[in-house]
């Protein structure tokens, strides 16, 4: 994917030791707290240092500018999403198609429903692909294609595997995200997940 041309993220120092990782996590947690208090306008290096309880020098050591921080926030969120979705794919390797789709939707919902406010802020406030982040549909194209290939005989139409994987990854991401943070009043999370799964299955099984 293309980087943000206006404000590319400079390469930041990678925390290697456990103590360094704890420090970086504290800074990212501080950034999340500031985001929830007032959006990106609240984020400054001084406020991050004060909220995280670290020196301003420590902040600059790992985050030379805001865009490096935004990239790290997205990277951490993506790592959480990817771990859960890959686990769901592995768990359903031998499961029926219905169980696979339900698990994938559930995984996407799980990653966003745990902190829907943060998920919405990352989507709306923090610049996308601040550090060259690859979209979910691209990251999971091959895993979804391989997982769906096991069920090829169940599909109603002869669609090429890449097209099928492209559509299903985007459907899982969009519908799962919407079910977690944008469903209307009166629609329970369980019902939203069930309907999202039904829509995806209807596409796969359609004649």
Residue spans of the domains in the chain: they are: 12-64, 74-205
Task: Please state which CATH number belongs to domain 12-64.
Answer: 1.10.10.60
pLDDT tens column, 167-200: 999 999 999 989 988 889 999 999 999 999 999 9
CA gyration radius, the chain: 19
- pLDDT for 96-149, tens place per residue? 999 999 999 999 999 888 888 888 877 776 665 555 567 888 999 999 999 999
* Inter-residue contact 28 to 76 (CB < 8 Å): yes
pLDDT in tens, 29-82: 999 998 888 888 888 889 999 999 999 999 999 998 888 888 888 888 889 899
Q: What CATH code is assigned to 74-205?
A: 1.10.357
What is the DSSP secondary-structure string of 35-48?
HHHHGGGG--HHHH
Q: What is the pLDDT of residues 82-100, one digit of tens each?
A: 999 999 999 999 999 999 9
What are phi and psi for residue 69, nearest 5 degrees? -65, -45
3-state secondary structure of 140: coil
Q: Is the separation of the CB atoms in 54 and 110 below 8 Å? A: no
- pTM for this structure? 0.80
């Amino acid at each position: 994917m293309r980087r943000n041309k206006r404000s590319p993220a400079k390469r930041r120092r990678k925390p290697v030791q456990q103590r360094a990782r704890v420090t970086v996590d504290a800074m990212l947690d501080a950034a999340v707290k500031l985001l929830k208090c007032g959006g990106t306008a609240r984020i400054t290096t001084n406020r991050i240092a004060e909220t995280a309880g670290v020196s301003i020098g420590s902040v600059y050591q790992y985050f030379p500018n805001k865009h490096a921080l935004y990239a790290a926030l997205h990277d951490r969120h993506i790592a959480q999403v990817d771990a859960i979705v890959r686990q769901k794919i592995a768990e359903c390797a031998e499961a029926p198609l219905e169980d696979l789709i339900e698990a994938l939707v559930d995984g996407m919902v799980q990653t966003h429903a745990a902190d829907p406010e943060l998920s919405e802020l990352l989507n709306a406030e923090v610049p996308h692909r601040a550090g060259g982040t690859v979209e979910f549909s691209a990251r999971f194209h091959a895993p979804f294609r391989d997982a769906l290939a096991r069920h090829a005989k169940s599909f109603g139409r002869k669609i090429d595997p890449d097209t099928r994987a492209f559509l299903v990854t985007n459907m899982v991401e969009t519908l799962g995200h919407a079910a977690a943070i944008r469903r209307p009043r009166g629609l329970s999370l369980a019902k939203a997940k069930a309907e999202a799964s039904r829509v995806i299955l209807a596409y796969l099984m359609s004649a």
